[in-house]
């Protein structure tokens, strides 16, 4: 399967800051579809760099061959395969250390930033027992396929949470199951696919495959690079999820915070690219799944307009120019989903592109300090004006930036799960929610109340 993206996939009208050509990567399927507890692990060699991939259990080999003028080469390295937890920890520590050293010169820590950093540390320490329990389950649950490589770049890995129903589908003992393509947040700087572990395990309880897709973070990449990574991941999932018992025709795309920004930007760019390709009689990126056949997009607490976010960060005493470092040539508008509709490329193909977009469900907490809820409501207005067929907003009273993602689930509240199931199952979702085993509180209420006061987001 050749994974080739139209060099003009992005929106060149926005000074091409978020327009990137994705290189052509050929994925070679060496063995048949996975059975039982087999794990897919993809190994990439490209551009002079080698990224070994680790996995657990027996392996279905997927090799990525990077095309170049010098020819192609398949490389396999089985080192650390038997130690997924240790290798993941070393990987996290390595990138975390480099990130901390490089971020000093970018963030220019002042008094406010130091104070918020101390609150974040206290918040993490207070909830550490819960985080450790989730981490332990993540590394010991045999249903989770960890560290599957989908592209040639660093951090091009995904984690796949496969319920028993998906295993039955692989064996021909049941129908394919719904799929969630999930992009976690992290302020474009500290995101990691493991942040979605609790939600992924809960979705397995609902009989849904949950795919948590990683991407390169700043300062190792900028927003166009992040969208490029997600596009690679999306194409990989569309082509391969059936091998894991997933139904691509019952799939949603979701993102949290920065992940909502990146995932929505990816969908908007893909819709323009698909409209152009169909008009020119060229193949689309994912011919087996047109964009309009995605069941929906769920955005949770997303910063969809970076231009509007900049003064908000200034008002909180934060270093807002970090946003300009995230964008090529500091072009905030070119990397803002809410402003894509003003570009010449969208205006040329906008009506066709808007009709191709799936339903949008945009959720936001009313008391979100990190990203004002107006980010969601204004983005929704832009989508409606552009002609997107179905746009729904849910601004929840009393909720903060992290409530639906962290504190809510720890209190036993299935906020995101309910939103996801409503997109996958429509009016039948209530029955699906009621059939779930009860989500028990993970920490005492007074601990969560203190954490809610400490959280800097």
Domain holding 314, by residue range, is: 82-454
Is residue 120, in this structure, part of any structural domain at all? Answer: yes
Number of domains in the chain: 1
Cβ burial 317-338 (10 Å sphere, 16+ → b, else e) = ebbbebbeebbbeebbbbbbbb
Give the bridge partners for 298, in sequence order: 254, 361
Is residue 409, in this structure, part of any structural domain at all? Answer: yes
Is residue 2, in this structure, part of any structural domain at all? Answer: no
Is residue 70, in this structure, part of any structural domain at all? Answer: no
Catalytic residue among 41, 212, 257, 370: 257
Q: Does the active-site annotation cover 401?
A: yes
Catalytic residue among 192, 232, 312, 401: 401
- pLDDT tens for each residue of 278-312: 877 777 777 778 888 899 999 999 999 999 998 88
Q: In this structure, what are the phi and psi dihedrals at residue 402, rounded to the nearest 5 degrees? A: -100, -10
Q: Does the active-site annotation cover 240?
A: no
Prediction pTM value: 0.78
Which residue matches tokens 């080698």? Answer: 50
Is residue 174, in this structure, part of any structural domain at all? Answer: yes
- What is residue 81's predicted lDDT score, i.e. its pLDDT? 38
215 Rama sector, left if φ>0, alpha if ψ -120 to 50, beta otherwise: beta
**Positions in the chain short of pLDDT 50:** 1-17, 19-83, 109
Using alpha carbons, select from 228, 196, 221 the residue that is nearest to residue 209. 196
Please report, for the domain that includes residue 407, its CATH number.
Answer: 3.40.50.1820
C-alpha to C-alpha distance for 370 and 316, rounded to whole angstroms: 9
Is residue 94, in this structure, part of any structural domain at all? Answer: yes
C-alpha to C-alpha distance for 153 and 263, rounded to whole angstroms: 18
Is residue 50, in this structure, part of any structural domain at all? Answer: no
Catalytic residue among 6, 331, 368, 403: 368
- pLDDT tens for each residue of 37-76: 333 333 333 332 323 333 333 333 333 333 333 333 333 3
Is residue 63, in this structure, part of any structural domain at all? Answer: no
- pLDDT tens for each residue of 69-101: 333 333 333 333 344 555 555 565 555 555 555
């Amino acid at each position: 399967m050749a994974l080739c993206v139209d060099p003009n996939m992005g929106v060149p009208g926005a000074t091409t800051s978020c327009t990137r050509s994705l290189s052509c990567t050929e994925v070679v399927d060496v063995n048949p579809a996975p059975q039982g507890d087999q794990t897919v692990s993809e190994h990439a060699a490209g551009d002079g760099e080698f990224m070994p991939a680790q996995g657990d259990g027996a392996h279905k080999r997927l090799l990525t061959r990077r095309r170049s003028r010098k020819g192609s080469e398949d490389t396999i390295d089985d080192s650390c395969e038997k130690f997924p937890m240790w290798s993941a920890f070393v990987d996290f520590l390595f990138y975390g250390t480099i990130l901390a050293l490089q971020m000093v010169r970018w963030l220019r820590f002042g008094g406010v930033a130091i104070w918020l950093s101390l609150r974040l540390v206290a918040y993490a320490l207070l909830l550490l027992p819960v985080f450790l329990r989730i981490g332990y389950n993540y590394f010991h649950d045999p249903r989770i396929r960890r560290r599957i490589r989908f592209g040639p770049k660093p951090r091009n890995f995904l984690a796949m949470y496969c319920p028993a129903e998906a295993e039955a589908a692989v064996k021909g003992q049941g129908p394919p199951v719904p799929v969630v393509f999930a992009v976690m947040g992290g302020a474009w700087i500290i995101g990691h696919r493991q942040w979605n572990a609790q939600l992924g395990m809960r979705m397995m309880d609902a009989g849904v495959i949950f795919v948590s897709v990683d991407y390169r973070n700043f300062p190792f990449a900028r927003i166009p690079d992040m969208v490029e990574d997600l596009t690679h991941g999306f194409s990989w999932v569309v082509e391969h999820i059936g091998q894991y018992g997933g139904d691509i025709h019952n799939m949603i795309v979701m993102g949290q915070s920065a992940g909502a920004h990146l995932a929505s930007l990816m969908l908007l760019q893909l819709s323009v690219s698909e409209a152009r390709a169909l008009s020119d009689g060229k193949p689309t990126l994912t011919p087996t799944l047109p964009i309009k056949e995605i069941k929906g997009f769920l955005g949770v607490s997303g910063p969809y307009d970076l231009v509007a976010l900049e003064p908000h960060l200034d008002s909180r005493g934060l270093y807002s120019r970090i946003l300009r470092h995230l964008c090529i040539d500091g072009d905030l508008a070119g990397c803002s989903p809410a402003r894509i509709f003003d570009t010449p490329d969208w205006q040329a193909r906008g009506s066709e592109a808007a009709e191709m977009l799936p339903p949008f469900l945009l959720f936001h907490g009313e008391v979100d300090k990190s990203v004002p809820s107006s980010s969601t409501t204004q983005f929704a207005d832009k989508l409606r004006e552009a002609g997107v067929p179905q746009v729904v907003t849910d601004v929840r009273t009393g909720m903060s930036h992290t409530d639906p993602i962290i504190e809510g689930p720890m209190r036993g509240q299935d906020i995101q799960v309910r939103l996801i199931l409503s997109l996958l199952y429509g009016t039948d979702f209530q029955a699906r929610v009621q059939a779930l085993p009860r989500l028990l509180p993970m920490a005492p209420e007074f601990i969560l109340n203190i954490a809610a006061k400490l959280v800097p987001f």
